[in-house]
Structure 1
């Protein structure tokens, strides 16, 4: 594996290499093997996934590697430790120093990348902290995953594992960077009030004063004994904030009949049932609307979005779009964009040749 990757990565003389793998047991060892052959000052950063997006689109059980050549990119890495216990004051000081030390060149594009621990369940606070300490900085990201097992995730920097941490990258480039976001849902008129919740564990205990799973099944028209990820992917819960819809994706059903979410939730929240709209052409239209064809799109795509696409028989169609627009990245437990932690959404950073190139 390392040898085949090096044959492709080495000629790029990379400043940064990103690695995404759904089977992450050997991710740290792989990054150490790459480090022995790549330039000493090259950062090798990776995380576990729920599937990858490679040159031919959706793939699984693979390693997706992205090289960012020194000739056009400069990067820095920051590890925010102890994500589970959210030491916000410490994070804020670390992030302020991190951005100051990076010394951004205003003549170039700059953006942030966040690889969070998807099992720590505190991405909402983490993203808000980034927004507060780096105002105006476009930051995209994905929550590291563990397939559909929802077990242990893995984050690696230069061969060292950082369990329970979030990795923040700053990337400066000669290319023009443009944020991309796409969700294929709209909100229906079916509403539900969260009448009881466990915010710490992102669990809805009651909807409309009824056991949450039973009431959700009734609203979605699903048998209560048929609640599983593909159905959750087709019938998400939607939170309306201002003029925007934000998906509150369902991860599973608790033994007590609650709904475990992949984003934060509080009692008193009003949710609507989501309705699937166009999953592929709308996405292609979003990428076609970019100012210029992208050289690459660094993408983070929710695993539940992928499940919905595969269930609809559209995997090949979506993979063709990914390949056409040079999208590379991984399937996540949640996405970070525009200061929000969201679900069942594709977020990305399109890199395009400068207009004057």
Structure 2
């Protein structure tokens, strides 16, 4: 049987179900999980559920976070908790909470990450990867990702910024059976399976560019573009009415930052004060941004996953909430659900995504788990 005893087990339950923890524990017990990842909304549902699950599965490393939506056995979901159990036969895991994300104690994080590495000696012949579940409201994912890359160079790391629906107010991170407020939870995973990073974005750059002439980096807010109020100038570049800007416009016309030969989205999450634009990523004065143009939100997604050397047993996926809103507005939810089912994608909708040492937006990132090529 394909992946027998090796493939992760994915379950989904309604967050409001009083038997949710018992249902998940029963479903996961058979795979004897070394690691359980929990993603769910609303954030208030995770604390009691994680505590009960930790009591029921005392040998498992349990990590998770609140979400802006879930990707479970039925595709896009809301108001649910998705649990992914990684069987001990093929996985090992240890985790650390990088606390006080708002305060950016980088030296402490580097020390904790190196201690985690040293206490987790590699298993010959197995692959390693990292999973990052950051506080999406602390606005310092760029620094967290850079710290991980410095402490664990060369390690494939994927992740998502925890959210709370579309409130953009407070998120929840879980480690073991406890909430770790304001932390970034990092999980170091080792597996007998083959792993491959996956990334897909549905946009292309246009010829229209703008310079950030005034910004508040701490609040991730652009106040002026081309020495004009940011929202007004953005609307002019995109051909939109500045008095009627909404999230759907931001999803269709993202701002892009060119790094090397690639463009990465600096997603707009809403309007700021005095005509500013609030972003989901860091921004600095003097940055040159290119106006992007969104294409089909599903076209190319299958091609990206078909390029894998073998069909995945599962894809751990982190999908930007702005991509989900674009999918729903385009009436493509069923198409995306079919694609998620075909490639066994499970994860959550994020306030930002992390891959290859970078924090990005409006992108699907994931880690494909495949049967090893050899015996």
Partner of 1:11: 30
Q: 1:146 aligns with which of 164, 179, 184?
A: 164
User: Partner of 2:77 in structure 1?
Assistant: 59
1:174-253 residue pairs with structure 2 within 5 A? 174-253=192-271
CA distance in structure 2 between the partners assigned to 1:315 and 1:155 by the alignment: 28
Q: Partners of 2:32 and 2:124 in 1: how far apart?
A: 24
- Aligned position for 1:340: 358
Cross-structure match for 1:95: 113
RMSD, aligned α-carbons:
0.9
Kindly report which structure 2 residues correspond to 1:304-319, keeping only aligned pairs within 5 A, or say none.
304-319=322-337
CA contact (8 A) 2:251 2:294 kept: no
Cα distance in 2 for partners of 1:290, 1:226 equals 42
Shift of residue 182, structure 1, vs aligned partner? 0.6
**2:56 aligned residue (37, 47, 64):** 37
Stretches (4+) displaced over 6 A? none
State yes or no: 1:50 paired with 2:41: no
Q: Does structure 2 conserve the Cα–Cα contact (< 8 Å) formed by 1:56 and 1:320?
A: no
SS at match of 1:256: helix
Q: CA deviation at 1:225?
A: 2.2
Give me the TM-score of the superposition, normalised by structure 1. 0.98
Q: Which stretch of the first structure deviates more once superposed, 6-15 or 244-253?
A: 6-15
Quote the offset at 1:311 in angstroms: 1.0
SS at match of 2:146: helix
Confirm or deny: 8 A CA contact 1:154 1:162 kept in the other structure.
yes
Unmatched segments (≥5 aa) in structure 1: none
SS at match of 2:331: coil
Task: Provide the rounded CA distance (Å) in 1 between the counterparts of 2:299 and 2:213.
Answer: 37
Partner of 2:9: none
Partner of 2:13: none
The aligned residue for residue 296 of structure 1 is: 314
Unaligned runs of 5+ in 2: 1-19
Query: TM-score, normalised on structure 2?
Result: 0.93
- Count of matched residue pairs: 356
Distance 1:106 1:226 in 2: 58
> Whole-Å Cα distance in 2 between the matches of residues 281 and 248 of structure 1?
21
CA contact (8 A) 2:110 2:151 kept: yes
Preserved contact between residue 20 and residue 330 of structure 1 (Cα < 8 Å)? yes
Q: Is the 8 A contact 1:190 1:273 kept in 2?
A: yes
